[in-house]
Amino acid sequence: MKTHASLGFAQLTDAQLVDFAVGVFNGLTANAATFTTPPVTPAALDTATKAFQSALAATSGGGLAQTVAKDAAHDALVNLLRQEANYVQGVANGDPGKILSAGFQIAAAGHHPQAPLPKPVIAQIVNEASTQLLVRVQPLANAHAYEVQVSTEHNAWQPAGMFTQARRIIIANLTPGTTYTGRVRAIGGSTGSSDWSDPVSLMAM
């Protein structure tokens, strides 16, 4: 049976949908050589994501017009993501690694109920080689992949990749002598992703 891209992102909370859409944007951008002709360009997806994010922020006042605008932006973003999911699934041709690399999740086989994934635990972070850190995460049952982010000092979190192997996550192209802080979240479960792990830091060699 072929692996399919999950369309479960439509059930995510508003905040989770923003994070998910950013992940798809990052995945498509990083894998442009594989996904060469997406029906929605990464730039258009980024614009729709930011429009939804702005509409979501505008609802803080509680006005009806703002809520209607937010709902419309939500539906527009979900529609674009569905188009991208169908395209990615066709290009991947059943390859789960390609689907995950584009930022999408794997559709669960059958009709087994899903539960939220627990917060992952980083078991170890060590210097694998010069400019590389090796991160080992305690595997979680039902996790499709593990998303990694890194930061330096007080800088914002930056995407560091999506990985299918919990016990061997390589973060490459680092600057020797710089301390990096990493965190991981598991992809899958009923909410689409887990909470982020507690951060762990180490200086790259």
> Does the pTM of the predicted model rise above 0.75?
no
Q: What is the mean pLDDT of residues 160-177?
A: 89
Q: Any bridge partners for residue 125, and if so which?
A: 135
Q: What is the DSSP string of 126-192?
A: EEEETTEEEEEE---TTEEEEEEEEEETTPPPEEEEEES-TT-EEE-SPPTT-EEEEEEEEEESTTS
What is the CA 66 to chain-centroid distance, rounded? 27
What is the CA 25 to chain-centroid distance, rounded? 9
Residue 50 and residue 22 in contact, taking contact as beta carbons nearer than 8 Å: no
Q: Indicate whether 111 pLDDT > 70.
A: no
Q: Any bridge partners for residue 193, and if so which?
A: 187
Among residues 99, 149, 140, the alpha carbon closest in space to that of 121 is found at: 140
Q: What is the mean pLDDT of residues 21-26?
A: 94
Angle made by CA atoms 119, 1, 140, in degrees to the nearest 5: 15
The predicted structure's pLDDT at residue 187? 86
3-state secondary structure of 106: strand
pLDDT (tens digit per residue) in 27-83: 999 999 999 999 999 999 999 999 999 999 998 877 788 888 998 999 999 999 999
Core vs surface per residue 2-22: b (16+ CB within 10 A) or e:
ebbbbbbbeebebeebbebbb
Cβ atoms within 10 A of the Cβ of 49, count?
22
The structure tokens listed for 46 are 């980024």
Q: Indicate whether 134 pLDDT > 50.
A: yes
Which pLDDT band holds residue 99 (cuts at 50, 70, 90)?
Answer: very high
Residue 21 and residue 53 in contact, taking contact as beta carbons nearer than 8 Å: no
